[in-house]
């Protein structure tokens, strides 16, 4: 099914969304243009993350691409830097595109998983993941890649910089020196180098990529959802914190979780030597 792109308007099918057994599948679906991000696909992605956040049946999400690519970034022919529709030759914007940013304005919509989304997102990457496409993957929690995956942030070669988290996440994942080399040159790397840099968790055969992501997602679905969300929230909140604050936040999360039914169920199931039945309460 296609996801509602916001305000009741159906998308053009550029993003597909479905939920199965606690897993939300978000599929970039513009294979003819390497899943480049159009204004409609940006709206649909933003709406998908909101749906995942609000749907208590969803425990984890998988982001992947149709065809031969993950995502080649912004569709330069149709989308401006703020991810609204491109202005006309006279600088006018479409009257119905409330998401378009005028020059100098902050972006009015974003397409990457937001920092407030405490449910894990797994990126299954094959083919090009470039520019905004790589930033999509960097904002996910776990990245699996096929051997044909390619990664790069070429924005500097076009006179701009990555604006959706690339400059934040890349140094934290692979270290400052390697990140600066990629950011300053726009160099594109393959899956083997990305694995060596620890940009991706592992490389799996192309036909095993989505099954591997699903297997990982199913493992997460089996776990108590409040604890899973607390792990993600704590890691993200303490990313730049000092040791005292980081330890305090983690300890506070643990005290809160100790008051949940799931924590009691986990202890009881262990004592009774049976599989736990977690409810997210």
Determine which one of 155, 214, 245, 279 is catalytic.
155
Residue partners of 189: CB distance under 8 A and separation at least 6: 150, 151, 152, 182, 197
Ramachandran assignment for 188, one of left (phi > 0), alpha (psi -120 to 50 degrees), beta (any other): beta
Question: pTM, whole model, 2 decimals?
Answer: 0.87
User: What is the C-alpha to C-alpha distance for residues 8 and 47, in angstroms, rounded to an integer?
Assistant: 11
Write the burial class of residue 155 (CB in 10 Å: 0-12 exposed, 13-18 middle, 19+ buried): buried
**Is position 265 annotated as part of the catalytic site?**
no
Question: What DSSP string describes 127-194?
Answer: SEEETHHHHHHHTSSEEEE-TT-EEE-GGGGGT----SSHHHHHHHHH-HHHHHHHHHH---EEHHHH
**The tokens of 262 are what?**
């799931």
Residues 164 and 110 sit within 8 Å (Cβ to Cβ): yes
Q: What is the pLDDT of residue 94?
A: 56
Q: Select from 235, 230, 217 the least CA-distant residue to 262.
A: 230
| DSSP SS3 for 27 | strand
- The radius of gyration computed from the CA coordinates of the chain, to the nearest angstrom, equals 20
User: What is the C-alpha to C-alpha distance for residues 181 and 266, in angstroms, rounded to an integer?
Assistant: 46
DSSP strands (E only) in the chain:
15-20, 23-28, 60-65, 121-125, 128-130, 142-145, 150-152, 189-190, 202-203
**Is position 244 annotated as part of the catalytic site?**
no
Q: Select from 56, 141, 39, 155 the least CA-distant residue to 98.
A: 39
Strand pairing partners for 143?
Answer: 123
Q: What is the pLDDT of residue 11?
A: 56
| Tens-digit pLDDT string for the chain (281 aa) | 444 433 333 457 999 999 999 999 999 999 999 999 988 888 899 999 999 999 999 999 999 999 999 999 887 776 655 555 555 555 555 555 666 666 677 776 789 999 999 999 999 999 999 999 999 999 999 999 999 999 999 999 989 888 889 999 999 999 999 999 999 999 999 999 999 999 999 999 999 999 999 999 999 999 999 999 999 998 888 888 888 888 888 888 888 888 888 888 888 888 888 888 888 88
Determine which one of 98, 105, 135, 265 is catalytic.
135
């Amino acid at each position: 099914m296609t996801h509602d792109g916001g305000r009741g308007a159906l998308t053009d099918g550029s993003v597909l969304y479905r939920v199965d057994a606690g897993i939300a599948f978000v599929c970039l679906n513009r294979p003819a243009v390497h899943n480049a991000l159009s204004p409609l696909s940006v709206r649909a992605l933003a709406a998908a993350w909101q749906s995942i956040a609000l749907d208590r049946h969803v425990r984890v999400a998988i982001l992947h691409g149709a065809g031969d690519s993950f995502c080649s970034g912004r569709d330069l022919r149709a989308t401006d830097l703020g991810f609204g529709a491109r202005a006309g030759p006279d600088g006018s914007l479409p009257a119905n595109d409330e998401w378009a940013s005028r020059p100098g304005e902050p972006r009015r919509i974003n397409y990457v998983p937001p920092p407030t989304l405490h449910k894990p997102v797994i990126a299954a990457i094959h083919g090009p993941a470039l520019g905004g496409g790589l930033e999509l993957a960097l904002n996910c929690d776990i990245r699996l890649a096929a051997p044909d995956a390619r990664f790069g942030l070429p924005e500097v070669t076009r006179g701009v910089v990555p604006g959706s988290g690339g400059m934040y996440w890349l140094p934290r994942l692979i270290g400052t020196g390697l990140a600066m080399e990629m950011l300053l040159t726009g160099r594109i790397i393959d899956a083997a180098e990305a694995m060596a840099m620890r940009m991706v968790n592992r490389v799996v055969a192309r036909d095993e990529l989505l099954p591997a992501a699903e297997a990982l997602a199913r493992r997460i679905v089996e776990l108590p959802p409040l604890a899973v969300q607390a792990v993600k929230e704590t890691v993200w909140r303490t990313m730049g914190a000092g040791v005292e604050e980081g330890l305090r936040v983690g300890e506070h999360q643990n005290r809160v979780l100790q008051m949940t039914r799931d924590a009691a169920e986990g202890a009881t199931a262990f004592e009774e030597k049976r599989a736990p039945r977690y409810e997210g309460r």
